[in-house]
Amino acid sequence: MIASTSVQEQPLEELVASIQQGDTATQNYLLRTYQPFIAKCVSEVCKRYIDPKRDDEFSIGLSAFNEAIFSYSADRGCSFLSFAKLVIKRKVIDYIRFNQKRPLSISLDENFDEELMENPLEVAVVKDKYNQELDAVYRKEEIMEFKEKLREYKLTLIELTEASPKHRDARDSAVKTARILYHDKNLSEYVYRKKKLPIKELVKKVDVSKKTLERNRKFILAIFIVLSGDYIYLKDYLKGVGQ
């Protein structure tokens, strides 16, 4: 038991860093202390009360939380709990999809019991529809996470819609700028810290005028956020763009 005052008063990110260095005592402390948080995350996916002692989904969430501890990096620009929440929800959804269960509030007209379906095509259709609906839940969750992150940068989705470059070439150029920004350690650290573009330094790295950078500031920041986070669906839209 290490629930000492000194441990409790340390920032969570510091505790995570300590665990990554081999502090198993602190690891056990976090796994025990954050069980209510884990259960809440799992419950939001399953749409029902989660019993830590009886529900398999909780075990998946606990394992995901532990995995998040070792895969988290402060360079992501998000808090550990935000990152852990995303990992937990994705692991639980993957578990549900793998086992073809139906704890989510998903409306399927067909009965999802393979033993009652003699037609293999019917089974395939139902599974496909189920997975599509799970993807929709997954995508919605990702958008909510993205909106929360945008708030840290004083941005909204509505602003991004208005600020998005109208021409394809301009959008490609802005995405390319965001990629350069993301891959430059010094510039990206500035963005994480200040939550704004380092216009003066960035203009030296890209073939874009200062005026253009300022005009597309919000859009570039939004793309930077996507690149630096675990946004599977949003990143799909960026494949091959600005490269």
Tell me: the pLDDT tens digits for 47-65? Answer: 888 888 888 899 999 999 9
**What is the pTM for the complete model shown?**
0.54
- pLDDT exceeds cutoff 60 at 199: yes
Q: Do 139 and 229 belong to one domain?
A: no
Residues 195 and 88 in one domain: no
Instruction: Evaluate whether residue 205 is within a structural domain.
Output: yes
- Mean pLDDT score, 25-46: 90
How far is residue 63's CA from residue 138's CA, in Å, rounded to a whole number? Answer: 19
Residue 234 has pLDDT above 50, yes or no: yes
- Number of domains observed in the structure of the chain: 2
Q: Is there a single domain that holds both residue 50 and residue 68?
A: yes
Q: Residue 190: which domain range?
A: 157-236
Write out pLDDT tens, residues 130-180. Answer: 566 666 766 777 788 888 888 888 988 888 888 888 888 888 899 999 999
Helices within the chain (DSSP H only): 5-9, 12-20, 24-33, 35-46, 56-71, 80-99, 120-152, 157-163, 168-183, 185-194, 199-202, 210-215, 217-228, 232-236
| Beta carbons of 217 and 209 less than 8 angstroms apart | no
**Is the model's pLDDT at 204 over the cut of 80?**
yes
Within a domain: 20? no
Q: Which of 152, 174, 201 is the last residue of a domain?
A: 152
